[in-house]
Amino acid sequence: MEGRIVRARPRGSWISSQYRWTPTSRWLPGGIPDMPVAEARVELVRRWLSAFGPGTVADIKWWTGWTLGEVRKALAAIEPVEVDLEGATGLVLADDLAPTPVPEPWVALLPSLDSTVMGWAGRDWYLGAHRSALFDRNGNAGPTIWADGRVVGGWGQRPNAELAYRLFEDLGSETGTAIDREAERVTTFLEGVRVTPRFRTPLEQELGAADGVRSTTNDSFRGRSGAEPCVGRSREGPNRPFWC
């Protein structure tokens, strides 16, 4: 809390939850400079708006854990610009008003508690109706699949570290293929290591279960109705669909 020590490298493997601690000066020469609380709050809100804006006052209040008065005082020093967020009042930095270029189509498999998933209090605009499957009761996010700026599914790992995922909607063959490639990339990156989130969410636990799963062919995976598809990936073989 006083900034005298910092958490350094994990003890054991890279997924260990036990860490070594070291004097802050070993990692940050000169230590952490002192900053008045009010100045620190202003800078923190400025950086939040730079990374996550536009956002709402409610988003900032939730993310910081401050009182409404503390949030408004910091915002008054920044003087953000109000913008319309589909009927809600959003805030953006005054030097961040230029139109954002439309990016190329993209997909991503994000881990649990990723800062993108946890960046806002209001999440319907990117999460849709999938909150109950992807968050635990305390609001901790599980592993998510994103496509073009919104959540389209979730993923997990089976006991043998095999990656499995579920999509919530038909995204078309092009996006589906891109997700397959990204799942393969994540599988290769993990090198057979199973990462179990500290906060287990309903979908992640379901995908991580070994029981009640049988393999099938790509044709039946794509054409069968009335079942929820999961796709498993393994370093030892190609894409292997499952019915959960």
End-to-end C-alpha distance for the chain, whole angstroms:
45
Can you read off the two tokens belonging to residue 20? Answer: 């070594």
> What's the mean pLDDT when you consider all of the chain?
85
Whether the Cβ atoms of residue 244 and residue 213 lie closer than 8 Å to each other: yes
Q: Please give the Cα distance from 163 to 156 (Å, whole number).
A: 6
Looking at the structure, tell me whether residues 83 and 193 fall in a common domain.
no
Q: Which helix (H) or strand (E) segment is 242 a member of?
A: strand 237-243
Residues 231 and 168 in one domain: yes
d(CA 141, CA 135): 5
CA distance linking residue 107 with residue 150, whole number of Å: 9
- Residues 162, 59: one domain? no
The burial class, CB within 10 Å (0-12 / 13-18 / 19+), for 225 is exposed
Q: Determine the length of the chain.
A: 244
Single-letter amino acid code for the residue at 68? L
Question: Cβ(92)–Cβ(49) under 8 Å?
Answer: yes
Q: Based on the fold, state whether residues 121 and 237 are members of the same structural domain.
A: yes
Give pLDDT, residue 238.
37
Query: Dihedrals φ, ψ of 8, to 5°?
Result: -105, -130
Is 209's pLDDT higher than 90? Answer: no
What residue numbers bound the domain in which 210 lies?
107-243
Same domain (yes/no): 111, 148: yes
235, pLDDT greater than 90: no
Provide the pairing of β-strand 81-85 with 19-23. unpaired
> Is residue 24, in this structure, part of any structural domain at all?
no
pLDDT tens digits, 40-91: 999 999 999 999 999 999 999 999 999 999 999 999 999 999 999 988 999 9
Which tokens go with 213?
């799963």
Do residue 225 and residue 190 come from a single domain? yes
Q: Which residue in the block uniquely carries the two structure tokens 């379901």?
A: 206
**Judgement on whether residues 219 and 132 belong to the same structural domain of the protein:** yes
Confidence class for position 210, pLDDT limits 50, 70, 90: low
What pLDDT is recorded for position 2? 84
CA 197 from chain center: how many Å? 12
3-class DSSP state of 133:
helix
Please check whether residue 102 is in contact with residue 95, taking contact to mean a CB–CB distance below 8 angstroms: no
Which tokens go with 192?
A: 């057979």
- State the pLDDT at residue 32: 85
Residues 129 and 84 in one domain: no
C-alpha closest to that of 195 among 167, 166, 163, 165: 163
* H/E stretch holding 174: helix 172-190
Among 132, 141, 156, which Cα is nearest to 208's?
Answer: 156
Same structural domain, 137 and 231: yes
